[in-house]
Amino acid sequence: MKGNISNNKFGTAPVFFTAISTILGAILFLRFGFAVGTLGFWGAVLIILLGHMVTIPTALAISEIATNKRVEGGGEYFIISRSFGLNIGATIGIALFMSQAISVAFYVIAFTEAFEFVFNYVFEAYDVLLPRQAISVPSMLILAALILTKGANLGVKALYFVVAILAASLVLFFLGTTEYQTENTFSFFETQFRNSSDFFIVFAIIFPAFTGMTAGVGLSGDLKKPSKSIPIGTISATIIGMILYFFIVYKFVVSASPEDMMNDQMIMAKIALYGAVAVPIGLAASTISSALGSVMVAPRTLQALAMDRAFPSKSINRWLSRGRDKDNEPINASLVTVLIALLFVALGNVNSVASIISMFFMVTYGSLCLISFLNHFGSSPSYRPSFKSRWYLSLIGFVVSLWVMFKINTPYALLAFAVMTMMYLYLNRIYKNRKGFASIFSNAIFQVNRNLQVYLQKKGGRRTFKEWRPSAICISKDSFKRDKAFKLLSWISYKYGFGTYLHRIEGYYSKETNRQSEQELARLIQKVKGIGSHVYVDTIISPSYTSAIAQAIQIPGIAGMENNMVIFEYNKDVGNNVSFIIENFALVNAGNFDVIILASDHREIDYKGGIHLWIKSPDTENANLMILLSFIILGHPDWKTGDIKIFDICKPGEEAETKENLNKLVVEGRLPITSKNINVLVSEPDVSSKVLINKHSADAGLTMIGFREEKIKHEKEKVFEGYDELGTIMFVNSHDQKSID
């Protein structure tokens, strides 16, 4: 991040101390005894284990990502935004910043609990019940003044001091003895797991105690070597914090009764050596260090968001991203942070938003684990971290994060997702040009696609019966002149089939034609992007149509199955435009492909006119394919106002039998064709079938007509002539019988 290079001077210690002081924070001193008293030894141990099923994978994921590429300013936000894309990153980043800013208020309010003796003295001496704001607001103002004038340098120096006090208070806690301890005969095998039904209620209260492991990551832009400091500082703080919590649980259980732990939030003061002084000082140190950590990290997240233009106003982004001239301290972002924190401190109670804070933090941790998992799964050659976690640990962290969110508070979890979804949709509308697909998703999808294709190929070879679905390929050099062939592929591939459209570049493969193909592919993708197409588009360079077809029909299908249909297309308005299809029909037919020849003209398709099928009862191969294709095409939204009509020309006296057979076919095939749309016409000696087709289908949106290979051989171009009254025509040749059942 620009401007931060001169200010990168911190080592590993600030990362470790920021994390460990937040882990061993307000929850430890004020709520952990309550948890042990409520659930017992094994219940509290289970809380620690479950909490660290989120925090340890997250710490490992952060460490892994930080050793792959340089983590610049913004810490967790930087990692998420550079992995998931700027719009998703900004959505999570804004939620993360608000959580960090409100956390400052949470810790300052907890800080006031260290002065319980002051409130008690004033009440006893003067009968005045002082509000907590009497200490919390001045404390917040002093903290704000220090951070705005001195910046992170003072915060880091203060961290060493408060962590030393915190360590001393914990040592005194472990050295303390009680009357209960001398009489207590604790046994690991006899202690009970109490109040199991309240487990997740207690877990929700305690879990924030473990979530400080990422606090130091927010200093990433101010570190000499983030790839070293973040893994060592984060992992060591997480592991040491977990071990200390196990010992703290044991100390609580052997030193105080469950009733005392549940009813006295300052029970640690009754256990510790010189506890009346040591524990309040330790509480003050832990909470103010946590507040310092948050008030250093939150502005850097906000500054990074502004530098990435996460907010809709250019002036706001410019103002928030500005750093102080002498040290690039994010002064404006710090001002916004302390104002938000001061607001919540003045309100006096952040319990109402504490669950939402936890939800946003959980989203962040889950995202970091998901990034690590997707990087493992995607197997990109550019992902080469020097520190490696395991994919299954990252997956466990992601799944447990989601699960814990809903177990803690389902309404708040849903609210958090709703708020973030709305933010994402808003950012997507503001920054439409930033909708690019992040490479991490592309790599993962590539792996899924690759494995599925191999799987389907192997499974396909062993199956005795294969359900038919179209996998069509079309080659055209007139992609920018007419689009009917592409529309046909879109209809086929919308729901039931697969489509590959190849734009032909005429010529031999060279630097020049390769450059041309790249340009025209980009143009083609841009053209089809907005129409919601499911067609895969590409280019093919070939000197002739024949060589292009020979290449194309040999390539594997994108769906993991071989292509089984080739679509030719020509313009009816241009004379002698079908000869090239005749010349290549035998080549395609040799590959056992179904063939569609699409004839179009200048007229727009009238979808209300529906799809007309002209079939011949004896020609069941073409008839069945046309019926299936009409059903598939009608499933596209373009055809929502259309319907299917079937026409059959029979000999005199065969009308009833033909109609009955068609009705039976429609009913058994469960096709959306009504009886009134089944039309049986009697052939007349002097009237050709082409005349009847022109007469009855002049207003059709799409007309399907079957043809046989023998007709192509004998009549050539004449097969496709004589349909001047029709609009778009699909001439269909089925290679084999398709089952309709």
Q: pLDDT-derived band of residue 70, with 50, 70 and 90 as boundaries?
A: low
How far apart CA 512 and CA 517 sit, in angstroms, is 9
For the domain bounded by 5-348, which CATH number is listed? 1.20.1740.10
Cα–Cα distances in angstroms (integers) from residue 438 to residues 265, 360, 417, 443, 705, in the given order: 47, 22, 21, 9, 45
577 residue type, one letter: N
Residue 705: strand pairing partners: 614, 731
Among 129-138, 229-238, 572-581, 649-658, name the one with the lowest average pLDDT: 572-581
User: Average pLDDT over the chain, rounded to whole?
Assistant: 83
Residues of the chain with CATH 3.40.50.620: 467-592
Is residue 468 packed enough to be buried (19+ CB in 10 Å), middle (13-18) or exposed (0-12)?
middle
Q: What is the pLDDT of residue 194?
A: 87
The architecture of the domain spanning 603-741 is 3-Layer(aba) Sandwich (3.40)
The upper half-sphere exposure of residue 14, i.e. CA atoms within 13 Å in the direction of its Cβ, equals 26
Residues of the chain with CATH 3.40.50.12370: 603-741
- Give exposure, 33-47, as e/b (b: 16+ Cβ within 10 Å): bbbbbbbbbbbbbbb
Residue 316: CB atoms within 10 A of its CB come to 15
Q: What is the pLDDT of residue 251?
A: 94
427 residue type, one letter: L
Q: What is the pLDDT of residues 700-719, one digit of tens each?
A: 999 999 998 888 888 888 88
492 residue type, one letter: I
pTM for the complete prediction? Answer: 0.66
Q: State whether the Cα torsion 262-268-271-276 is positive or negative.
A: negative
At a CB cut-off of 8 Å and minimum separation 6, what does 509 contact?
541
Nearest-CA neighbor of 661 among 678, 685, 682?
678
Residue with the two structure tokens 């005199």: 652
How far apart CA 651 and CA 17 sit, in angstroms, is 93
Average pLDDT (196-207) is 85
Q: What is the pLDDT of residue 155?
A: 61
Nearest-CA neighbor of 294 among 489, 700, 22, 493?
22
How far apart CA 31 and CA 40 sit, in angstroms, is 14
Q: Is 60 exceeded by the pLDDT of residue 731?
A: yes
| Two structure tokens written together for 456 | 């389907």
For the domain bounded by 467-592, which CATH number is listed? 3.40.50.620
Q: pLDDT-derived band of residue 431, with 50, 70 and 90 as boundaries?
A: confident
Average pLDDT (349-357) is 63
Residue 585: CB atoms within 10 A of its CB come to 19
Q: What is the pLDDT of residues 586-613, one digit of tens each?
A: 888 888 899 999 998 888 899 999 999 9
Q: What is the pLDDT of residue 464?
A: 45
Q: What is the pLDDT of residues 35-54, one digit of tens each?
A: 999 999 999 999 999 999 99
Residue with the two structure tokens 């046989």: 708
Average pLDDT (656-667) is 83
Q: What is the pLDDT of residues 386-413, one digit of tens each?
A: 788 888 999 999 999 999 888 888 888 8
Q: Is 60 exceeded by the pLDDT of residue 115?
A: yes
What DSSP element (H or E) covers 733? strand 728-733
For strands 565-571 and 594-600, give the pairing.
Answer: parallel
For strands 728-733 and 594-600, give the pairing.
Answer: antiparallel
Q: Rounded to the nearest 5 degrees, what angle is found at the Cα of 257, between the Cα atoms of 254 and 260?
A: 130
Q: pLDDT-derived band of residue 558, with 50, 70 and 90 as boundaries?
A: low
DSSP code at position 618? T
| Two structure tokens written together for 213 | 């492991």
Is residue 601 packed enough to be buried (19+ CB in 10 Å), middle (13-18) or exposed (0-12)?
middle
